[in-house]
Structure 1
Amino acid sequence: MLRALSARLPPELVALTRSHLAFSRPLSTSAAPASTAPAAQPAKTFYATTPIFYVNADPHIGHLHSTLLADVYSRHARLKDPRRGAIMCTGTDEHGLKIQRVAEAKGISPKELCDSVSERFRRELETRGHIYKSSYAGWYAVSDEAYYPESQVAEVIDEKSGEKYMASTETGTRVEWMEEENYKFRLSAFREPLLEWLTSKPHPVQPPSRTDALVSSLTHPSSTDLNDLSISRPSARLSWGIPVPDDPQHTIYVWIDALVNYLTAAGYPWKGGEAFERGQVWPPDLQVVGKDIIRFHALYLPAVLLALDLPLPKHLLTHGHWTMDKFKMSKSRGNVANPFEAMKLWGVDAMRMYLMRIGGNSASDADYSATEIERFYRKDLAGQMGNLLNRVTTKKLLKKLETPELLWTLPTQLEKEDETLIKLLELLPTTFDRHLASFEVHRAIAAVFDALAESNRHVQLLSPWLASASPSSVHRALFFGSETLRLAGTLLQPFMPGKSAQLLDMLGVDPARRTWRDCEVGKGGERVPRPGKAHLWPAVAMPEPVVAP
C-alpha cells in the first residue's frame, strides 16, 4: 500500500527531505502586479515518485538516495517556477510474501507488522482483455518478489556454510522453484510499443547506458523479459495481500499492486481525481528507482499504462548502488553504511550535499566513505563556501568599500583578473540547469564549487585586506565574492535548503530575491550582510575512536 507524501516513512527519511510537503502549494504571488488578463492555465504540477519501500527492514542508504533525488528535482522545479505546484510521492510497500514471512518470524500478523490495509484493486485491465488465467513454473525470489527465467539463475555456494543453492544472477538473492496456477498479464502484446518508447529521443530511461543495455536484452533472440507476466499468487501460498476480485483463491502480485499506486496517488480513478483528468498531475515528470528494479518500471508499468491508454512517464531515473570503502555492503562483512549517524554528526544538509555530490552520477555505483564525508565537509563546504563567506562579510573589509552599495553593484571597469570568474558566473545557471536536465547531478554541484574555488582564488589574488589594495580591488573582490555566494546559495536551495537559507540570510539577500530569475550577475538587489555569531559550516568535533578492551 502506498503512503503518499512521506506519511508513515521512517523519521530519518523525513528529516532528509523535510519541508517537501509544502511544494504542493504555490508560493505567494502577492508582490506580482495586478492584471485584468484572463488567468492562464496553470502549469502541470511537477510529479516525482520514489520506489515504494519494503517495511521488512530499516531504511538504508539506497532509500535515502532515491528519496533525495526525487526531493531535489521537486525543489528545483519549484525554484524555476514558484507558481508551479509540485508533488513528491513516496511511501512504503506493506504487502507480499516477504512481509508475510517477516511477520511470521516475529510471531505477529502482517497487519500488526504494517498497521495498515490496502484498498481493493479494481482491475480494469481484466475488462480490457489483458489478463488471463494460466499455470506457471519457474524460479521465484521471495526477497525480490519476482520470477526469474532459467537464463538468469545460477547455482552458488555459501562462503561460510558451503551450502549450495540457486540465486538470481541479477540481484544475487536466493530463488526457489515454484509451480502454481495464476493470472497473467499479456505483456508480450506490448513488445513493439515498449521498444518504440524506450528508443525514443530524448531517452525516457536515464542514464542512456541503461536504455542501451535494456534494449539490447529485449532484442536478444533468447530474451524472456517480455513474456507474459504472472500477476497473482495462490492465496494458499500467500495469504497476506489483496484478493483478486471475484476469485479469493488468488492474491494480487505485489508489484502490480505497487505500480498502480503511482496512479492512485495522482487521483486515478476515484474521487479526487479531477486534477488527473485535466492532466495536471499525471504523467510523472520523474520516477526515481534503483538500477535493480528497472524491469518493473521500464517494462511492466509502461505496459500497464499502454493497456489502459494512459500517458507514459516522462523520465525514469535509474541510479546505481552504494559500496562502502570500495567493497559491496553486506551485514556479514560488517560494512553497511549508517548515514543516519553521519547526519547527527555533520548535519542533514551536509549529508544531502555529500550523497548528491558522490552519488549524483547515476550511471555508476557510488562509494560511501566516512573519510570522504569528512574531507568533503572540511575542504569543500567549510573550506570553499564557508571561507569565502567569512571573507566577504568581514566588517573590517566592508568598511573599506567607498560606498555600501558597491557590494551589490557590478563594477563598470573589469580587469583581466576578473575574466575567468565573471565568465563562470554568467554561465553558471545555464550550466547548472543543463546538467540537472541531463541527470548529471554531480556535475551540477561541481559547477557551483568550481565557481566558489575560482572566487576564492580571485579574492586571494586581489587581497582586499592589504593596506595597499586599491578601491577598485576592494570593490571587485567583495562584489564578485558576494555574488558567487548569492548565486551558489540560490541554485543550491534544492540540495541544502536549510544551509542555503542561512547563507542567503548572512549575505543579507532579500527573501523575495531568491528565485531562478534572480540568478544573474548583478541582479541580487540591495543587501547588508549580517553574518551573526554562528558559522555556516561550524567545526565538527570527531568522536573518539572506540578502543576494544
Structure 2
Amino acid sequence: MAGSKTYYLTTPIYYVNDVPHIGHAYTTLACDVLARFMRLDGYDVKFLTGTDEHGQKVEKSAQAAGVDPQAFTDRVSQNFRDLVGVMDYSNDDFIRTTEPRHVASVQALWTRLVEAGDIYLGSYAGWYSVRDEAFYGTDELRDGPNGKKIAPTGAECEWVEEPSYFFRLSAWQDRLLAFYDANPDFILPPGKRNEVVAFVKGGLQDLSVSRTTFKWGIPVPGDDAHIMYVWLDALTNYITAVGYPQTEGGEFAKYWPADLHMVGKDILRFHAVYWPAFLMAAGLQPPKRVFAHGWWTIEGQKMSKSLGNVIAPETLVKTYGLDQTRYFLLREVPFGNDGDFSHAAMVRRINSELANDYGNLVQRVLSMIGKNCGAQVPQPGPFTEADEALLGRARALLGTLRAEIGVQAFHKALDAVWAVVGDANRYVDEQAPWALKKTDPARMATVLYVLAETIRHLAILTQPVMPAASSRILDQLALGPDARGFDRLGQGGALVPGTALPAPQGVFPRYVEEPKT
C-alpha cells in the first residue's frame, strides 16, 4: 500500500499490577473500532496496544507475590494479550516496556533530551504516590486517616527525598500553550482540553524523571544508580513501536506523528502535557490528538475489588455475546463521558435494538426473498420516491460516519446507523411486500431489492463494531471478502439480481433470563 493514506492509533499501555477489567476492554475496543473503520475506508493502519511493566508499584507487587519482577510481568502481561482474543481486537502490534527494542528507544530519547539541555541533575523532595506513579504538589493533597496525605485520585502519598534528574518542564509552558492554540483539536473532548490548558496556565514545575530508591526500571544512560521515571519510560512506547530511534525511512517516517492516542481521563495530563513537551524537546513532532474517555461504574457503583463488582470482559462475552458486548459499550454512553454498566440496560439494548430492530429487519427481508424470489436477489423495477429516499439515506451513512468517527463520537455514529434501521423497518410496514405478493409481484421484488440493498449498506458499515455478526449478514447476501470495503458502498457495489442467496439464519438472538432456582 505504498503511498496510501496512513493512520496510527494507540491505546494506553496497561499497567501490569492487575487483571483486565471492563475499563481496559472499553479503551481498546474504541481503538479497534476506529482501526477497523479506517482499514475498510482504504487506510494503511497501525494499531498498537501493550503493557507498561516498570516502576515501584510493579516491584512491590512482585515482592508480595514472591516472584521476581520479570516473571511477574510475564504472567500479568499475558492476561492483556489474552484479552485481544476475548474481545476480537485487530491490533497490529503488542508492545511490552521490558522488551529490548523499548529499552534502546527510551535510552536514545533520554540522550536526545540531555543533548538538548532539557535534563539536569538535582535532588527531589516531595509527595509521591506509588499507586499512581505520580508526583503531587502539596496544594493538590488532602489529609487522610492516620496523618496520611491523599492524592486527588484517592491514592496515598509518601514523602520522598532522593537525588533525581529533572526535565525542564517549566521552560515549555508558553510553547505548550502556543501548541494548544495552533492545534485546537489536539485534546478531545473539549472539556478535557480546557482542563489541560488551565493546568498549564497555572504554571509548570520541572519534572523529576529518575528514581534511585528502587531498581525495577530502565537505567539512565551513563548513570546506573538512577532508573528512569516510569512515565518517561511508558510514554516512549508509542515511538518505540514505529522503530525509534530510527527516524529515516521505515515505520517512523511512515506513521509518526500518531493520529490518535486514546487514554482514560485519569492519565490525560501525562499524555497532553509531559509527552508533547518531551517530544518537542527531542525535536520530534507531538501526536495529532489525545482523546480522554470516561470511566465505567457498575450498577451505579464505582468498580472496586472490595465491593466485588469488577467485571471481567470474558464474563460479559460469555453472558451476553461478543458483538452484543462490543455494541453496548460504544452505544450506551456518549463517548468521552462516564458511563454505567447495568444488566438491565444491556438486555434492553440486545433485545430492543439488536434483536427487534436490526436482527428482525434482516431476518424478515431475507426470509421473504428466500420464500418469494426463488432465494435469489430480486430483479427491481423502476424506483419510486420512497425507494430512492431509503436508498439515499443508506448511501449517505458513510459520510456521516466518517465525520462522527473522525472525532471519536462512536455513539453518534451508531445513532445514525440505527436511524436508517428505523427508516427501513418503517418502509417495510408502509410497503407491505407480503400484500404486494398477491397484488403486484413486480413491485414486491423492487421493495425487497431496496431493502436488501439497504441491509448491505448497514452490514458493511457495522463491521467495525460487530465484525462477526456483520460478516454473517454479508454471507447471507452472498458477498465475498472483496465486496465488503467502503469502496463498494453506493451503486457501484450494488447487489446483482439473480445472485443465489443461502437460507437466512438469525444473527441476533434475544437475551432470555435464566429462571431463578
TM-score range, shorter chain: 0.7 to 0.9
Say whether residues 1:346 and 2:320 are aligned partners: yes
In the alignment, the residues of structure 2 paired with residue 536 and residue 327 of structure 1 have an alpha-carbon distance, to the nearest angstrom, of 33
In the alignment, the residues of structure 2 paired with residue 456 and residue 362 of structure 1 have an alpha-carbon distance, to the nearest angstrom, of 27
Question: 150, 162, 177: which one pairs with 1:167?
Answer: 150
Given residue 138 of structure 2, which amino acid in structure 1 is its aligned partner?
A: E
Aligned position for 1:512: 482
Superposed displacement of residue 317, structure 1: 1.4
Segment drifting more, 53-62 vs 337-346: 337-346
Q: Output one character per residue of 1:302-348: Cα deviation in whole Å (capped at 9) or x when no partner.
A: 01110111112112111111111222222223322333211012222
Aligned position for 1:462: 431
In the alignment, the residues of structure 2 paired with residue 178 and residue 166 of structure 1 have an alpha-carbon distance, to the nearest angstrom, of 13
Superposed displacement of residue 523, structure 1: 3.8
Q: Output one character per residue of 1:13-66: Cα deviation in whole Å (capped at 9) or x when no partner.
A: xxxxxxxxxxxxx5xxxxxxxxxxxxxx51253211111111111011111111
Question: 346, 350, 353: which one pairs with 1:377?
Answer: 350
Aligned position for 2:404: 435
Question: 179, 189, 205: which one pairs with 1:227?
Answer: 205
Aligned position for 2:127: 139
Aligned position for 1:503: 473
Say whether residues 1:129 and 2:110 are aligned partners: no
Aligned position for 1:293: 267
Q: Which runs of structure 2 are paired with 1:19-418 in the superposition (5 Å)?
A: 42-81=3-42, 84-115=43-74, 118=100, 119-120=103-104, 121-122=107-108, 123=110, 124-157=112-145, 165-169=148-152, 171-219=153-201, 223-224=202-203, 226-234=204-212, 237-270=213-246, 274-276=249-251, 279-359=253-333, 361-394=334-367, 396-398=368-370, 400=372, 406=378, 409=380, 412-415=382-385, 417-418=386-387
Superposed displacement of residue 539, structure 1: 4.1
3-state SS, counterpart of residue 65 of structure 1 = helix
In the alignment, the residues of structure 2 paired with residue 399 and residue 522 of structure 1 have an alpha-carbon distance, to the nearest angstrom, of 27
3-state SS, counterpart of residue 280 of structure 1 = helix
Superposed displacement of residue 299, structure 1: 0.9
The normalised TM-score by structure 2 is 0.88
Identity %: 37
Unaligned residue ranges in structure 2 (runs of 5+): 75-97
Q: Output one character per residue of 1:72-99: Cα deviation in whole Å (capped at 9) or x when no partner.
A: 1111111111xx4211111111100010
In the alignment, the residues of structure 2 paired with residue 298 and residue 317 of structure 1 have an alpha-carbon distance, to the nearest angstrom, of 9
Given residue 231 of structure 1, which amino acid in structure 2 is its aligned partner?
A: V
Task: Assess if the C-alpha contact under 8 Å between 2:20 and 2:312 holds in 1.
Answer: no
In the alignment, the residues of structure 2 paired with residue 266 and residue 385 of structure 1 have an alpha-carbon distance, to the nearest angstrom, of 40
3-state SS, counterpart of residue 148 of structure 2 = strand
Given residue 296 of structure 1, which amino acid in structure 2 is its aligned partner?
A: F
Answer 1 or 2: which has greater helix percent.
2
In the alignment, the residues of structure 1 paired with residue 434 and residue 397 of structure 2 have an alpha-carbon distance, to the nearest angstrom, of 28
Given residue 320 of structure 1, which amino acid in structure 2 is its aligned partner?
A: G
In the alignment, the residues of structure 2 paired with residue 178 and residue 490 of structure 1 have an alpha-carbon distance, to the nearest angstrom, of 55
Superposed displacement of residue 456, structure 1: 1.0
The normalised TM-score by structure 1 is 0.83
In the alignment, the residues of structure 2 paired with residue 419 and residue 198 of structure 1 have an alpha-carbon distance, to the nearest angstrom, of 45
Segment drifting more, 67-76 vs 529-538: 529-538
Q: Output one character per residue of 1:250-290: Cα deviation in whole Å (capped at 9) or x when no partner.
A: 111011011111111111114x963245x211111111100
Say whether residues 1:536 and 2:507 are aligned partners: yes
Aligned position for 1:444: 413
Matched residues, number: 486
Task: Assess if the C-alpha contact under 8 Å between 1:400 and 1:474 holds in 2.
Answer: no
3-state SS, counterpart of residue 344 of structure 1 = helix
Cα separation, partners in 2 of 1:397 and 1:483, compared to 1, 3 Å: closer
Cα separation, partners in 2 of 1:505 and 1:404, compared to 1, 3 Å: closer
3-state SS, counterpart of residue 51 of structure 1 = coil
Cα separation, partners in 2 of 1:490 and 1:262, compared to 1, 3 Å: same
Superposed displacement of residue 151, structure 1: 2.1
3-state SS, counterpart of residue 144 of structure 2 = strand
Task: Assess if the C-alpha contact under 8 Å between 2:377 and 2:500 holds in 1.
Answer: no
Task: Assess if the C-alpha contact under 8 Å between 2:377 and 2:449 holds in 1.
Answer: no
Aligned position for 2:92: none
3-state SS, counterpart of residue 434 of structure 2 = coil
Superposed displacement of residue 451, structure 1: 0.6
Unaligned residue ranges in structure 1 (runs of 5+): 1-25, 27-40, 158-162
Cα separation, partners in 2 of 1:213 and 1:187, compared to 1, 3 Å: same
Cα separation, partners in 2 of 1:129 and 1:201, compared to 1, 3 Å: closer
Task: Assess if the C-alpha contact under 8 Å between 2:350 and 2:510 holds in 1.
Answer: no
Superposed displacement of residue 476, structure 1: 4.2
Superposed displacement of residue 164, structure 1: 5.4
Task: Assess if the C-alpha contact under 8 Å between 2:123 and 2:162 holds in 1.
Answer: yes
In the alignment, the residues of structure 2 paired with residue 529 and residue 164 of structure 1 have an alpha-carbon distance, to the nearest angstrom, of 75
